[in-house]
Amino acid sequence: MKQFIITENEAGQRFDKYLAKLMKEAPKSFFYKMMRKKNITLNGKKATGNEKLEKNDEIKIFLSDETFDKFAGHVEVKKAVCKLDVVYEDEHVLFINKPVGMLSQKAKDTDESLVEYLITYMLESGSITKEDLRTFHPSVCNRLDRNTSGIVAAGKSLAGLQKLSQLFKDRSLKKYYRCLVSGIVENEQYIKGFLYKDEIHNKVSVLSKSKDDCVLIETKYKPIERYDDCTLLEVHLITGRTHQIRAHLASVGHPIIGDYKYGSNRINNKYKKAFGLESQLLHAYRVEFPKLEGVLSKVSEKVFTAELPKLFDKIIDSKKNNL
């Protein structure tokens, strides 16, 4: 007989979903059969699988060690070590200032990404164990392009991950970016359009009218500082779509400097030669939280900012000094 006590990281999910993670090699029909026969119980009672688990719930599994081990499989954890720039952390959430060049989530099995670094960080800090990873994997709630820096929010507990993800989904969390764009922007602007994604080339285009497979995008921006040939903008990302800021600003004649996909090669090469710039000057600078209760009460109505990368700062300083 195996006994498990539900932790905070596991609470909030359906019982059958938990069992599918705990015994990942077993077919779902097996769980339901074992529950009907009371070989799997929840708090000493017969269960159906659709119960929502709470912290300290007790699960008993009346199977031989050999059978359980066969269905549970092995927990394989490949540690991926990278020093994280932590902006904020509590027991439920973690905000990280992601550097340029780091993936938010891996694209293929051999990749190392912020998610893997996060798991290693939590294992080494003791906030999660290897066995915990059977039933819960910490993850990020928003993704930045590899060559976009700034705040990435992650859930350390299941409840934190769910609540934080919902804030991004319903747009009640406000997201602001800083970017350096070509040309002079005089006034604050609100722009909208329809984004079409070319999956083959991983590139998007912004259209004035909707067509099949398009999604509405909304972006606000205002100038922070103007220089001789470029402008530092603060961008309020209202909707959050693939390459939205990069493509939207390029569509109105103000491409982000360093963006070879949507910008000007001539301008980008000028900055590459002068500063060694090889990525877009786009940084997820600030997040503002609404009034919250429960697991996210500690971040209620708080504002978090992430420092600009050193190269971004260096280029701004040079523009201020007309270098």
Q: For 68, list phi and psi in degrees, rounded to 5.
A: -60, -45
160-171 confidence digits (pLDDT tens): 999 999 999 999
Q: Please tell me the predicted confidence (pLDDT) of residue 323.
A: 60
Q: How far apart are CA 34 and CA 17, in angstroms?
A: 15
From the list 321, 160, 155, 184, the residue with the least C-alpha distance to 254 is 184
For 223, the enclosing helix (H) or strand (E) is: strand 215-226
Q: How far apart are CA 239 and CA 216, in angstroms?
A: 8
Q: How far apart are CA 253 and CA 262, in angstroms?
A: 11
Q: Please tell me the predicted confidence (pLDDT) of residue 310.
A: 97
Angle between helices 265-275 and 310-320 (to 10 degrees): 100
Neighbours of 49 (CB within 10 A): 18
Say whether 158 sits in a helix, a strand or coil.
helix
Kindly give the parts of the chain with pLDDT less than 70. 323
Q: Please tell me the predicted confidence (pLDDT) of residue 211.
A: 82
Q: Please tell me the predicted confidence (pLDDT) of residue 199.
A: 84
Burial 179-205 (b: 16+ CB within 10 A, else e): bbbbeebeeebeeebbbbbeeeeeebb
Neighbours of 135 (CB within 10 A): 21
Active site residues: 145
Q: Please tell me the predicted confidence (pLDDT) of residue 158.
A: 86
Q: Please tell me the predicted confidence (pLDDT) of residue 185.
A: 97
- pTM for this prediction: 0.86
102-141 confidence digits (pLDDT tens): 999 988 878 899 999 999 999 999 988 888 888 888 999 9
